[in-house]
Amino acid sequence: MKKSIGIIGYGNLGRGVALALQKSPDMSLAAVFTRRDPASISPLGGALSLPLADVASWRDKIDVMVLCGGSATDLPTQTVEYAGLFNVVDSFDTHARIPEHFSAVDKAARESGHLALISAGWDPGMFSLNRLYANAILPEGSDYTFWGRGVSQGHSDAIRRIPGVRDAKQYTVPVENALQAVRSGQRPQLETRQKHTRECFVVLEDGADAYDVERAIKTMPNYFADYDTTVHFISQEELNANHSGLAHGGMVFRSGVTGEQGEHTHIIEYRLTLDSNPEFTGSVLTACARAVCRMAAQGHRGCLTLFDVPPATLSIMTGEELRRHLL
Amino acid sequence: MKKSIGIIGYGNLGRGVALALQKSPDMSLAAVFTRRDPASISPLGGALSLPLADVASWRDKIDVMVLCGGSATDLPTQTVEYAGLFNVVDSFDTHARIPEHFSAVDKAARESGHLALISAGWDPGMFSLNRLYANAILPEGSDYTFWGRGVSQGHSDAIRRIPGVRDAKQYTVPVENALQAVRSGQRPQLETRQKHTRECFVVLEDGADAYDVERAIKTMPNYFADYDTTVHFISQEELNANHSGLAHGGMVFRSGVTGEQGEHTHIIEYRLTLDSNPEFTGSVLTACARAVCRMAAQGHRGCLTLFDVPPATLSIMTGEELRRHLL
């Protein structure tokens, strides 16, 4: 009996989950729930497209609901609300606010008797898992996380809010020298500026002053002021043609030591090179939906993260198959 | 209250576990058990050195026993035997025989009411975990595992058994072109010969024929015949001076696709660069000992692998600390 999966929010990420479900013979997409006109959406695989307002009537027909909204405004309320009705999975990625999100979702899920898994994806998600494993193995050492080369939605949005900017994309780019220093085992102390550069492609409004816009970008606190930033002004046509890709990736390192005097260095590197950030993230969320089905059936309630999930629970293979083929 | 850990077998690996326990404030090494003269061993941190024959009298004083013997002859019998007395962790690494080892250990541990975790280390171990996670996320794709550059104990032993050979070390070396092809997302079909080369440093007995020895190495079935093998004849002094290191490492890749037509490629790479193979493996076993303490206290019995262990269970940090600092 296939598990019945729902999706709330059918943008790039929701579509990534729907694609991943097509490769998961143990699960099927029952319905997509949307705030848009449901008739405007044709979910993959012939699943239903329904108004979000009707979601509560599906509470007994969905095994896991995958929440595919954004972390800024959607998930902080949606995951809490829908954990009252369903087992849920989300990709909440505002690192600093994970503890409070976890608490709120945990409370809602326990009260309603459901299981929630939050902050799945690649960072947080697979990168977090690698930080955890590597820290557990090498307690004496340093962590390094690099992102890119890939588009940062948050930084692109920040540029678009500047007066005179019509459109923009911002690439986060890891600094090659910093990567080499980490890989060499030196355990360098790296300032923000030494780890990443920021490359911006900006389309100006007619009559906007390029100098003013460039200065506004480069001096923007938090987003750009602490980085070496390059700004390229291009046409809308060029932005659409060359900068609409969804590729991303990054690397997590643990550089640690063992031995009586810390004389042996070990480098653990985990690297992702992704053609499509939302399709990869959707694939992680889909494996998490499988784990939530299984762990809910075992009696787990409340909120989890990938830290709490036995890895085998994510896989369609049996324990025996996993030991035979992947161990 | 610190957990009390025992070690059976105090070679390089046992010493690696003892070193890792010194960095683990929640565990302490109570005793080392050895088939050698206990007086000949001074375990790190002032732990006791005791005859293996006395181990049964420690059954109520050890929370987890870490078995540090070899996979060829020690662990197939030791892990089964000592799972009858203790919670145990081993690094059994004969991949083809893991299912039968798992069954035998599972039976012994269930009968005695203990918990066992087998095949921990880096391969099997951390590499296996990465294969599992990557396969669960990207069901459509190819796996690649490369080892080295590092000494293969099994291949070195095989050379030493050839008449006329006094001593030898064999390095497994990944082929750079193959790595590049995998990283590019091509999903190449790689023959054994295309993935690794084998480099041998051999000390001859007086009067041995170098030509015969080289031919015996290069034509040895399973070990060398399917590889491009280089043989260097050197003196014992040079072997001791330049080839006694314990560095190793390797890479696991998953190259997978998503999208309606598989149009997006994703590369997941996990890479280890280890100065000391036994100290890193010992560090993994030590984190596993922590997980076994906790899971045994939760009521788990029988045999597990890392596939069954919730990652947070390996870490000394609390769930809240992990979510705050590593998620």
Tens of pLDDT along B176-221?
Answer: 999 999 999 999 999 999 999 999 999 999 999 999 999 999 999 9
Whether B266 sits inside 8 A of A274 (CB atoms) is yes
Nearest chain B Cα to A184, which residue? B273
Whether B307 sits inside 8 A of A317 (CB atoms) is no
Tens of pLDDT along A232-287?
Answer: 999 999 999 999 989 999 999 999 999 999 999 999 999 999 999 999 999 999 99
Q: Are residues B79 and B12 in the same domain?
A: yes
- Structure tokens given for A168: 């923009």
Confidence tier at A72 by pLDDT (50, 70, 90)? confident
Whether B315 sits inside 8 A of A124 (CB atoms) is no
Whole-number Cα distances in Å, A234 to A203, A260, B54, B266: 5, 57, 78, 29
Give backbone dihedrals phi and psi of A98, rounded to 5 degrees, phi first.
Answer: -60, -45
pLDDT over 90 at B240, yes or no: yes
Whether B311 sits inside 8 A of A311 (CB atoms) is yes
Tens of pLDDT along B247-295?
Answer: 999 999 999 999 999 999 999 999 999 999 999 999 999 999 999 999 9
Mean pLDDT, residues B226-240? 97
Tens of pLDDT along B168-181?
Answer: 999 999 999 999 99
Whether B132 sits inside 8 A of A314 (CB atoms) is yes
Nearest chain A Cα to B144, which residue? A326
Q: How distant is the Cα of B196 from the closest Cα of chain A, in angstroms?
A: 20
Q: Are residues A256 and A286 in the same domain?
A: no
* Strand duo A141-147 + B3-8: pairing: unpaired
Whether A314 sits inside 8 A of B126 (CB atoms) is no
pLDDT over 90 at A153, yes or no: no
Q: Are residues A231 and A108 in the same domain?
A: no
Percent of chain B with pLDDT over 90: 97
**Chain A partners within 8 Å of B139 (Cβ):** 23-24, 316
The predicted structure's pLDDT at residue A287: 98
Q: Number of structural domains, chain B? A: 2
Amino acid at B318: T
Whether A137 sits inside 8 A of B271 (CB atoms) is no
Q: Is B307 exposed, middle or buried (0-12, 13-18, 19+ CB in 10 A)?
A: buried
Q: Are residues B57 and B110 in the same domain?
A: yes
How far is residue B40's CA from residue B47's CA, in Å, rounded to a whole number?
13
How far is residue B23's CA from residue A131's CA, in Å, rounded to a whole number?
18
Q: Are residues A161 and A268 in the same domain?
A: yes
Amino acid at B40: S
CB B32 within 8 A of CB B43: yes
| Domain containing residue A25: CATH number | 3.40.50.720
Q: Are residues B55 and B159 in the same domain?
A: no
The predicted structure's pLDDT at residue B154: 87
The predicted structure's pLDDT at residue A242: 96
The answer to whether residue B46 sits within a structural domain is yes
The answer to whether residue B128 sits within a structural domain is no
The predicted structure's pLDDT at residue A214: 97
Whether A139 sits inside 8 A of B314 (CB atoms) is no
**Chain B partners within 8 Å of A311 (Cβ):** 129, 132-133, 136, 306-309, 311
pLDDT over 90 at B159, yes or no: yes
Residue in A275, A311, A323 nearest the CB of B129: A311
- Structure tokens given for A316: 């369609």
Mean pLDDT, residues B24-47? 96
Mean pLDDT, residues A86-109? 97
Nearest chain A Cα to B140, which residue? A23
Q: Are residues B194 and B239 in the same domain?
A: yes
CB A327 within 8 A of CB B98: yes
Considering chain A, what is the average pLDDT of its residues?
Answer: 97
Tens of pLDDT along B290-315?
Answer: 999 999 999 999 999 999 999 999 99
Q: Are residues A194 and A239 in the same domain?
A: yes
Whole-number Cα distances in Å, A312 to A320, B126, B127, B267: 10, 14, 14, 21
**Residue partners of B222: CB distance under 8 A and separation at least 6:** none
User: Roughly how many angstroms between the first and final C-alpha of chain A, as a whole number?
Assistant: 28
Residue in A24, A284, A310 nearest the CB of B309: A310
pLDDT over 90 at A154, yes or no: no
Residue in A95, A267, A271 nearest the CB of B269: A271
Residue of higher predicted confidence among A7 and B222: A7
- Write down the pTM of the prediction: 0.96
Q: Are residues B180 and B292 in the same domain?
A: no
The predicted structure's pLDDT at residue A134: 98
The predicted structure's pLDDT at residue B82: 98
pLDDT over 90 at A45, yes or no: no
Tens of pLDDT along A296-325?
Answer: 999 999 999 999 999 999 999 999 999 999
Q: How distant is the Cα of B275 from the closest Cα of chain A, in angstroms?
A: 5
Residue in B126, B258, B276 nearest the CB of A279: B258
Q: How distant is the Cα of A120 from the closest Cα of chain B, in angstroms?
A: 10
**Chain B partners within 8 Å of A185 (Cβ):** 273
Quote the domain boundaries for residue B90: 3-123+278-325
Q: Are residues A164 and A289 in the same domain?
A: no
The answer to whether residue B215 sits within a structural domain is yes
**Chain A partners within 8 Å of B127 (Cβ):** none
Percent of chain B with pLDDT over 70: 100
Q: Are residues A186 and A308 in the same domain?
A: no
Give backbone dihedrals phi and psi of A122, rounded to 5 degrees, phi first.
Answer: -110, -35
The answer to whether residue B19 sits within a structural domain is yes
**Chain B partners within 8 Å of A23 (Cβ):** 139-140, 258
Whether A310 sits inside 8 A of B315 (CB atoms) is no
Domain end position, chosen among B204, B227, B245? B245
| Domain containing residue B239: CATH number | 3.30.360.10
How far is residue B290's CA from residue B303's CA, in Å, rounded to a whole number?
15
Q: Are residues A68 and A34 in the same domain?
A: yes
The answer to whether residue B273 sits within a structural domain is no
**Chain B partners within 8 Å of A97 (Cβ):** none
pLDDT over 90 at B321, yes or no: yes
- Directed axis angle between helix B277-297 and helix A126-137, to 10°? 100
Confidence tier at B45 by pLDDT (50, 70, 90)? confident
